[in-house]
């Protein structure tokens, strides 16, 4: 009878040296062995290294969600980190030059790897590990391109570890503690924009789902709902956000649209039409007529232009206000004084009675921890948009006011005023991403923050949900 296959799980090794290295194979050992022997001979850093244990015949290596295969695996001790940072010894030079990337043998292997692999494939050269005092395992992914192009990669890596262990970086501490992890307590880092950044595995899942989801239909649809097994991030269930629309006696099942995507698209489509007409026709007519009365046909074109621009203005403003309202938490209360009396508004009262600029300045500054929006470059354009929209929705009967309103639509600056909705939505996206990532589910596609946060479930509830969908007969 064939032996049952056993799953081989990565376990953090026990070691007493400062530097402990496990090579994937003889080729990777060949790359670094000379350097490691030189470090060992100096006697300043204790070094141990070995080849990876091959799985037994009845074992299969378990591939974790963010733990990847590499040529070289390096484990660092706390003593090494302290020695590196706190002493002016040759340790810095030793560790920073551990990779002989300029060695001809190494260059030959690199060229061979690049020929074999697709040009855009990120080849993982080395994984560096460190177990923290609070039992997290920090894993740093060293891609080959990063090693070749970033001279201070290793030094910055060690500083991250040192700052975490000494609790000198509040943001780093928060990221490590608040990023989701499986039972193994792994926290993965990648080198992005010249610094080490923690990888959120839930965002990695959403990026994978999005690649397939966005190929179907268009980008005005809502983002999908994704459930993830807390103990195995590879286990996912993906739902489209469907609803049933009724038209007389007929029903249609479809993916729900994202309201902001609809509103911004209406505004953008009409703005592009109006802008094209303004620069290709209207400006030419104005120059040719020299202020004289346009013909009847030209007047019709003016009216068409006015309709187009009014639609764009109204939906630009609506896209901002509706999204701002979504960002206000359901149970949020706004406390303020009015004529010496203390008052409290609920979310619905804020939506109804507070101006858009005050929602941004007084509510979302607290909710999303944004800086003062009135200091942003787009703020004056927002005030102009708010004024234009007010004039259109609540027009004054006086002729002079109407003339001024329509004259503003013939000023080319109006196009930048209408586009302010894109700037505001992107501004909010940054602070949603940083401080309230659950709102990414509501955030529209194509504004720079297409990711979303999957919902994490314990294994029992995940299996129950999975079976109810895919194996309804199974108890």
Residue 104 lies in a domain: yes
Gap between the Cα atoms of 390 and 408, Å rounded? 13
Residue 327 lies in a domain: yes
* pLDDT (tens digit per residue) in 59-108: 545 555 665 678 889 999 998 888 888 776 666 666 666 766 666 666 66
Residues 181 and 68 in one domain: yes
- Provide the pLDDT confidence category of residue 145 given band limits of 50, 70 and 90: confident
Residue 24: the pLDDT is: 84
Gap between the Cα atoms of 22 and 14, Å rounded? 12
Neighbours of 28 (CB within 10 A): 21
Residues 120 and 32 in one domain: yes
- Torsion angle in degrees (nearest 10) through CA of 358, 364, 366, 368: -160
Residues 234 and 187 in one domain: no
Residues 140 and 238 in one domain: no
Residue 313 lies in a domain: yes
Single residue among 199, 217, 245 that ends a domain in this structure: 199
Tell me how many domains the chain contains: 3
The first and second tokens of residue 126, run together, are 């080395």
pLDDT for residue 325 is more than 80:
yes
Is 268 or 147 the better-scoring residue by pLDDT? 268
Residues 227 and 359 in one domain: no
pLDDT for residue 432 is more than 90:
yes
Mean pLDDT is lowest, of 160-164, 185-189, 380-384, 418-422, for: 185-189
Residue 185 lies in a domain: yes
Residue 450 lies in a domain: no
- 202-208: long-range contacts, CB 8 A cutoff, minimum separation 24: 202/228, 202/233, 202/453, 202/454, 202/456, 203/451, 203/453, 204/65, 204/66, 205/233, 205/236, 205/454, 206/451, 206/452, 206/453, 206/454, 207/451
Asked if 444 contacts 263 with a C-beta cutoff of 8 angstroms, the reply is: no
Residue 449 lies in a domain: no
* pLDDT (tens digit per residue) in 190-243: 999 899 999 989 998 999 899 888 888 788 999 999 999 988 888 999 988 888
Is 172 or 403 the better-scoring residue by pLDDT? 172
Q: For tokens 């990876």, name the residue.
A: 52
pLDDT for residue 424 is more than 90:
yes
pLDDT for residue 404 is more than 80:
yes
Give the SS3 label for residue 318: helix
- Provide the pLDDT confidence category of residue 110 given band limits of 50, 70 and 90: low
Residues 337 and 462 in one domain: no
Q: For tokens 């703020």, name the residue.
A: 379
Mean pLDDT of the chain: 85
> DSSP letters along 413-430, please?
THHHHHTHHHHHHHHHHH
Residues 87 and 25 in one domain: yes
The first and second tokens of residue 460, run together, are 């029992």
Residues 177 and 225 in one domain: no
**Domain with 14 in it:** 6-199
Residues 240 and 276 in one domain: no
Residues 242 and 334 in one domain: no
Residue 265 lies in a domain: yes
Distances in Å between the Cα of 121 and the Cα atoms of 24, 39, 71, 109, 115 are 19, 32, 15, 16, 11
Residues 188 and 76 in one domain: yes
Residues 394 and 270 in one domain: yes
257 exposure class (CB count in 10 Å sphere: 0-12, 13-18, 19+):
middle
Residue 463: the pLDDT is: 92
Q: For tokens 């003339």, name the residue.
A: 403
Residue 475 lies in a domain: no
What pTM does this model have? 0.79
pLDDT for residue 275 is more than 70:
yes
């Amino acid at each position: 009878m064939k032996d049952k296959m056993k799953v081989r799980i990565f376990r953090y090794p026990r070691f007493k040296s400062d530097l402990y290295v496990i090579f994937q194979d003889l080729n990777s050992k060949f790359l670094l062995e000379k350097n490691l022997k030189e470090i060992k001979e100096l006697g300043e850093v204790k070094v141990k290294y070995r080849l990876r244990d091959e799985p037994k015949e009845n074992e299969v290596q378990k591939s974790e969600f963010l733990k990847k295969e590499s040529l070289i695996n390096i484990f660092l001790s706390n003593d090494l980190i302290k020695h590196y940072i706190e002493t002016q010894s040759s340790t810095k030079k030793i560790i920073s030059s551990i990779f002989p990337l300029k060695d001809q043998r190494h260059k030959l292997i690199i060229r061979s790897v690049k020929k074999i692999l697709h040009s855009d494939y990120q080849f993982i050269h080395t994984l560096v590990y460190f177990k923290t005092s609070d039992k997290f395992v920090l894993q740093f992914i060293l891609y080959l391109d990063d090693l070749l192009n970033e001279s201070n990669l290793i030094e910055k890596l060690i500083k991250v570890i040192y700052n975490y262990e000494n609790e000198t970086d509040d943001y780093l501490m928060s990221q490590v503690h608040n990023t989701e992890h499986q039972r193994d307590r792994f926290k993965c880092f990648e080198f992005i924009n010249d610094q080490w950044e923690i990888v959120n595995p839930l965002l990695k899942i959403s990026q994978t789902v999005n690649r397939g989801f966005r190929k179907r239909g268009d980008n005005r649809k809502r983002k999908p709902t994704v459930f993830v097994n807390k103990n195995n991030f590879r286990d996912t269930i993906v739902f489209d956000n469907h609803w049933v629309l009724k038209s007389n006696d007929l029903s249609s099942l479809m993916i729900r649209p994202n309201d902001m995507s609809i509103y911004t698209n209406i505004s953008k489509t009409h703005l592009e039409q109006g802008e094209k007409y303004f620069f290709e026709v209207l400006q030419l007519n104005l120059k040719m007529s020299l202020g004289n009365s346009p013909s009847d046909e030209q007047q019709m074109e003016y009216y068409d232009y006015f309709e187009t621009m009014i639609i764009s203005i109204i939906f630009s403003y609506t896209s901002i206000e509706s999204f701002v309202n979504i960002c206000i938490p359901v149970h949020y209360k706004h406390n303020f004084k009015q004529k010496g009396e203390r008052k409290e508004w609920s979310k619905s009262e804020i939506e109804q009675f507070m101006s858009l600029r005050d929602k941004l300045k007084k509510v979302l500054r607290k909710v999303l921890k944004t800086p003062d929006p009135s200091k942003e470059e787009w703020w004056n354009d927002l005030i102009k948009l708010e004024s234009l929209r007010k004039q259109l929705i609540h027009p004054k009967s006086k002729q002079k006011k109407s003339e001024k309103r329509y004259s503003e639509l013939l000023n080319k600056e109006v196009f930048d005023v209408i586009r302010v909705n894109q700037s505001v939505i992107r501004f909010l996206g940054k602070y949603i991403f940083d401080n309230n990532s659950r709102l990414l589910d509501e955030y529209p596609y194509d504004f720079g923050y297409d990711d979303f946060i999957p919902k994490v479930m314990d294994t029992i509830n995940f299996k129950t949900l999975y079976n109810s969908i895919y194996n309804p007969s199974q108890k």
